[in-house]
A and B are shown apart, each in its own frame.
Chain A
Amino acid sequence: MKTQTSYALETKSVIKTYQSESGSINAVNDVSLQVKPGEFVALVGPSGSGKTTMLSILAALLKPTNGQVLLDGEDLAEMGDKERVIMRREKIGFTFQANNLVPYLTAVENVELMLRLNNKLDKVGKLRARELLSRLGLSERLHNLPGQLSGGQQQRVAIARALIHNPSLVLADEPTASLDTERAYQVVQTFASLIHEQNRAGIMVTHDLRMCEYTDRVLFMQDGNLVRSYTSKAEIMELARGGVH
């Protein structure tokens, strides 16, 4: 069922519980958040704070134990496996920490793959894939295999792939983890500007608080709870200057 909402993404009291030998653990505990189209949000927190679990739930890779996850008004928590695959394909763009690209496809083929999966690979789509990669500074690397690209170049190809099919939500899991500082800033800056330009909702999970500089909001998680939200630019810049968490 579709719910009317002005948010691209909205979660309501999301809980994810895991059973262990010592009892049940709430990896995500009653998290509610909203992200508007064109907003780039950072999800930060120490290890074990639940941010990766939250990202997996938002990516329709994991079902919450309780609560609602509304993407364009559709509740991911209510969906079956097949529907969630379709949502991932059509409405979500994803970049991962590593192993992002299909190793036997060239840069442009990796980007076009999202269009193929959505049955939208036509001349216009092919042109857009090339333009997007050129925009990301990869016009000379279109036909290179991932193994022939540097870590930063691979991340930029992954960003292009995450955006090419016009998803409502773009997710990035530690996109700068394997990059040097200069490359990391470049990647996040490009990511942020594309999200703003294309009016997508973007969420980035990072442990590197410096990268929050380019985000519109920072959500801080601890022990599965959303404990603080940094909304003003001044707060975010202060947090970013604080360095690595």
Chain B
Amino acid sequence: MRQIFSISTYLAIKEIWRNRGRFLLVSLVIALITLLVLFIAALGEGLGNGNREYLSKLNAELIVFQEKSDFLIQASRLGKDRLAQIRRVDGVADSGLFGTANATLVFNDETEPLKIALLGIEPGHVGEPPVLEGTQLSTDLARETIIDKNTAIRTNLQVGDLLTVRVTQGTRDEFYELRVSGISDGQQFALQPTIFVPFYTWDRIRPKSEAELNASNLVANVVLVKLENPSQLELVQQRLETQVDKIETATKIETIQALPGYSAQQSTLNTQGGFTLFIGILVIGGFFQIQILQKVAQIGVLKAIGTANPAVAISSIIQITLVTLIGVLIGGLFTFMFSLFFPPTVPIVFNGTTSAIAIVALILIGPLGGLVSIRYAVRIEPLKALGLSS
């Protein structure tokens, strides 16, 4: 076996080296496919991340929704009275109100206004993101905010700065000033940079209809629940649904899957990635098939002088794998270089796991695409190849 491998490697490398221009062209095609696949994977990750970043980092196990809201955060309405009921359920360690709204950050200078997700959370409770810089929110009524890293990058806001939020309440635009108390890591929500404000402040400054302006009851979208023992998730979920009126509960994953457009977006991007890989298989398969057809006589000579079939097959596999590896390497470098020039507004995130899966898939498409040609090479009969058959 060692002898076969040694001969195969020798033949494969000699052929690649002596025809390096031709093989490099194929590697470059694979590099372009790699670039495309990695960008689609990064775009999928970026868009998915932009949608779910806050939820996936959330330090809660369960999310309580208004019943029949289909786990849609924006469609759910829960009054503050439910919070007290939820906190009394056995197994609940902590819970916090959570409200979402859209707003715009406006600036005194010529900086473009920035649309943001305005999230209301309870300071000191589940849902408040940990700050990397500055301090956590102090009180429920404080006019302060934690901004996420994306907001900080795009606005240049620092801890201690004042920011202005513009919202529409009734028919009027209102402006609220908030002091930046801290900056958290990336916590995008619904593909928007995010600012977190204490829940009571949020309720005061959020966009409201004319009818809501005069209402006095405090309404959140959902309640976030942290469990005493996460392994008892199903048990606590059952208790919540029996002990608290008119609610339904979901895990973080279920909530993420229910985000508007999230599943459709991810499946579209996964399909695109899959098709790109499929095209890669066809391109590589086509190239190696044509190559094998061109060297039928040569393979016939090799077999006639005593080269075993496994050596011919392994030689082809080594060639295909090497060409694919070089292509993926070049493609990976291209992708890295391009990614350096993308502005932060482009939702591209190179996640280690996703990129690794894409790279492994790309490396596998070579041998997969070349399977037909390898089979063809193995079946070449030296007699026919050399024109000796009657």
Q: Are A52 and B306 in contact (CB under 8 A)?
A: no
Q: Are A145 and B18 in contact (CB under 8 A)?
A: yes
Q: Which of A105-162 contact B (CB under 8 A)?
A: 105, 109, 113-114, 116-119, 145, 161
Q: Are A100 and B306 in contact (CB under 8 A)?
A: no
Residues of B within 8 A of A82 (CB): 308
B319 to chain A: closest CB distance in Å?
A: 11
Question: At the interface, yes or no: B114 with Cβ under 8 Å from chain A?
Answer: no
A83 to chain B: closest CB distance in Å?
A: 11
Give the one of A61, A97, A145 with max B CB within 10 A. Answer: A61
Q: Are A99 and B386 in contact (CB under 8 A)?
A: yes
Q: Are A104 and B15 in contact (CB under 8 A)?
A: yes
A237 to chain B: closest CB distance in Å?
A: 30
Question: At the interface, yes or no: A102 with Cβ under 8 Å from chain B?
Answer: yes
Interface readout for B249-261 with A: 1 if CB under 8 Å, 0 if not? 0000000000000
Q: Are B301 and A100 in contact (CB under 8 A)?
A: yes
Question: At the interface, yes or no: B383 with Cβ under 8 Å from chain A?
Answer: yes
Q: How far is the CA of A161 from the CA of B382 in the complex (A)?
A: 17
Question: At the interface, yes or no: B305 with Cβ under 8 Å from chain A?
Answer: yes
Q: How far is the CA of A88 from the CA of B15 in the complex (A)?
A: 23
Q: Which of B280-315 contact A (CB under 8 A)?
A: 295, 297-298, 300-309
Number of contact residues on A: which range applies? 35 or more
Question: At the interface, yes or no: A172 with Cβ under 8 Å from chain B?
Answer: no
Question: At the interface, yes or no: A219 with Cβ under 8 Å from chain B?
Answer: no
Q: How far is the CA of A27 from the CA of B17 in the complex (A)?
A: 43
Nearest B-chain residue to A56, judged by Cβ: B388
A119 in contact with B3 given A18-B390, A52-B388, A145-B18 (CB within 8 Å): yes
B309 to chain A: closest CB distance in Å?
A: 8
Interface of B is mostly: helix
Question: At the interface, yes or no: A220 with Cβ under 8 Å from chain B?
Answer: no
Q: Are A116 and B388 in contact (CB under 8 A)?
A: no
Question: At the interface, yes or no: B204 with Cβ under 8 Å from chain A?
Answer: no
Question: At the interface, yes or no: A94 with Cβ under 8 Å from chain B?
Answer: yes
A99 in contact with B390 given A62-B383, A86-B306, A104-B19 (CB within 8 Å): no
Residues of A within 8 A of B307 (CB): 85, 89, 117
Question: At the interface, yes or no: A53 with Cβ under 8 Å from chain B?
Answer: yes
Q: Are B298 and A102 in contact (CB under 8 A)?
A: yes
Sample of 9 further A-B pairs with CB below 8 A, known A56-B383, A117-B306, A118-B306: A61-B382, A85-B309, A89-B307, A90-B306, A94-B305, A96-B304, A99-B298, A109-B14, A116-B7
List residues of B whose CB falls within 8 A of some A CB.
Answer: 3, 6-7, 10-11, 14-15, 17-19, 295, 297-298, 300-309, 382-383, 386-390
Q: List 9 A-B contacts (CB under 8 A).
A: A52-B388, A82-B308, A86-B306, A89-B306, A96-B386, A102-B302, A117-B7, A117-B306, A161-B305
The 6 closest A-B pairs by CB, nearest first: A89-B306, A104-B18, A99-B297, A88-B306, A104-B15, A56-B388
